[in-house]
Amino acid sequence: MLKLVSRQILKLLGWTLIEDLPRDNKFVVIGYPHTSNWDFPLGLLAMWSIDRNFNWVAKHTLFKGPMKYIFRAMGGIPVNRSLHTGFIKNMVDTFNSRDQMIFCIMPEGTRSKTEFWKTGFYHIAHEAQVPVALGYLDYKKKQVGVGGVLYPSGDIDADFEKLREFYKNKVGKKPENQGEVKLKSR
């Protein structure tokens, strides 16, 4: 029922759902661009529309009061980005302990413009040996969903070039907040 309702809401809002998902039972979904609070409900509608269980990550400060229980029931995982808690290792272990898992994360890490992407998603996928599904919200075309798959090779520079190519024409709600698809200088 949630699938049908979510699809209808997207349709009523004028959005087209793209469903080019991996065939795998386990994968990481990245979402880009992330420039607005509207990205969260649209992303949830898209994921509910594909009718698969998924987990997603957000900053720990959102998980307060009654929202803590609601977000956890919806698959939310809080993360405190200011503490080093072994999050990547914990997520890899979680992937390795399950037969099915879809994990969604925004590599920009914020709605504000960033100079580079956070690479935790890449390390989780590479170490857990799962693909990265290329999720997106394109406000210009009013498309939301997953439009391709990246199998991490271990050559992060080459893989980021593929990500740059895929996302080059995707436009966020607030394009001025859209950061480049690039790695932090090493």
User: Using CA atoms, how far apart are residues 19 and 1, in angstroms rounded to an integer?
Assistant: 18
Which tops the pLDDT comparison, 86 or 152? 152
Tell me, what's the pLDDT at 140? Answer: 96
- pLDDT band at 40; cut points 50, 70, 90: confident
Question: Mean pLDDT of all residues in the chain?
Answer: 90
Amino acid at 177: N
Q: In the chain, where are the structural domains located?
A: 2-177
Tell me, what's the pLDDT at 173? Answer: 95
Which tops the pLDDT comparison, 129 or 1? 129
What are 120-172's pLDDT values in tens digits?
Answer: 999 999 999 999 999 999 999 999 999 999 999 999 999 999 999 999 999 99
Tell me, what's the pLDDT at 76? Answer: 84
Whether 112 shows a pLDDT value over 80: the answer reads no
Whether 98 shows a pLDDT value over 70: the answer reads yes
Tell me, what's the pLDDT at 184? Answer: 87
Mean pLDDT (whole number) for 76-89: 80
Tell me, what's the pLDDT at 186? Answer: 63
